[in-house]
Amino acid sequence: MKKTYLLTPGPTPLPPQVCEALARPIIHHRTPQFQTVLKETFEGLKWVFQTKNDCFLFAASGTGAMEAAVVNLLSWGDTALIVEGGKFGERWTELCAAYGIKTTVIKVEWGRALDPEVLEEHLAKDATVKAVFTTFCETSTGVAFDIKGFAQVVKETEAVLVVDAISGLGVIDLQTDAWGVDVVVAGSQKGFMLPPGLGFLSVSKKAWRCVEESKCPKYYFDLKKAKKALEKTDTAFTPAIGIIIALNEALRMMRADGLEAIFARHRRLAEATRAAVTALGLELFAPDAASDAVTAAKVPEGIDGAKLVKTMRDEYGVTIAGGQAAVKGKILRVAHMGYIAESDIILALACLEKVLKKMGYAFELGTGVKAAEEVLST
Ligand SMILES: *Cc1c(COP(=O)(O)O)cnc(C)c1O
């Protein structure tokens, strides 16, 4: 018998309430019954996004919502400024390139954050920048960027701030309206505790002016069409009915907890995980700006990181993530986002220790678990 556990930074585990909702028979979407769900869902989304702006959802993975942001805000030949500190920052650059948008890239060393002053300097140098694209939690490195600081800088310019918060929303505090973030992008399979399949975005008034002017080609992702439908509590095309019904359940669960409690839970799990890997002698990959959504740590010298992840998964049923691109095989990533409890973290750490020991890494068994327990006992 093998029992499996998922601690990856997307997809994340599903609560029983969500599984139950997903198992219900399908209903038609142009019905009062579904409209009731849709209405409650959008109210819930606005609550998680901490915004009064319109929120939109598409049947797509998170990247679809990122693409929706690009094609609705910009036109061929426009200039975008991109903060690129990992795999997902690079995605903004690739998306812009696909639509003929000129990009200026601020390259940030993987594992590091960016001082908002540097962003300010770049914006001061180039008044043609129409949009700044950045990432909230850079899932590939475990870095949380200073979105509040970025927003303060971008607010003073003509440009709009677009944040990929796919792995951070509903996990770490992101105050869309209070900080002045124009577009926030999210996806279903991270903090929302859902299967992949939905992409979300919120759009400010300032950003909506860009939408009015945008000439990028678009059809399915056209926000004007989506807004028209939204005004009638409807969707332009057949929505992902089943996942939206499950989203409504997930939002109910989140509202029952409250945002403060959600953020505090993730912080606690992150602190425990960071304490554990540090106690084991593993260096944090993002020591100065560690995200509370996922912990990235360097694999010890002489240990094959890919084999470590594979052994945990195939022999013990515990799935964590390894590194991508340049850090492939060199880092491990333990996600503590969404439906993850203290017991899951302890279990994953115990498994990590067991496999590290088996692979010949020298340390005293229980060191990491003890450090985590100490954090979780306070
Ligand atoms: C997971 C993730 C994405 C990609 O989302 P998909 O659903 O795979 O398209 C983008 N950005 C960040 C920060 C992510 O964590």
pLDDT of residue 273: 98
- How far apart are alpha carbons 235 and 226 in whole angstroms? 6
Please work out whether the CB of residue 60 comes within 6 Å of at least one atom of ligand 1: no
Bridge partners (DSSP) listed for residue 319: 6
Q: Measuring CA to CA, which residue among 197, 190, 245 is closest to residue 22?
A: 245
- How far apart are alpha carbons 314 and 244 in whole angstroms? 33
Tokens standing for 206? Answer: 């300032």
What b/e readout covers 308-343, taking b as 16+ CB neighbours within 10 angstroms?
Answer: bbebbbeebebbbbbbbeebeeebbbbbbbbbbebe
Q: Measuring CA to CA, which residue among 88, 89, 112 is closest to residue 80?
A: 89
pLDDT of residue 1: 82
Please work out whether the CB of residue 324 comes within 6 Å of at least one atom of ligand 1: no
Please work out whether the CB of residue 140 comes within 6 Å of at least one atom of ligand 1: no
Please work out whether the CB of residue 367 comes within 6 Å of at least one atom of ligand 1: no
Bridge partners (DSSP) listed for residue 55: 202
What residues in the chain have per-residue pLDDT under 50? none
- How far apart are alpha carbons 274 and 57 in whole angstroms? 34
pLDDT of residue 2: 85
pLDDT of residue 311: 98
Please work out whether the CB of residue 139 comes within 6 Å of at least one atom of ligand 1: yes
pLDDT of residue 316: 97
Q: What angle do CA 56, 58, 63 make, to 5 degrees?
A: 105
Helix, strand or coil, per DSSP, at residue 227: helix
Q: Ligand 1 pocket test: pick from 6, 8, 88, 163 the residue with the most ligand atoms within 8 Å of its Cβ.
A: 88
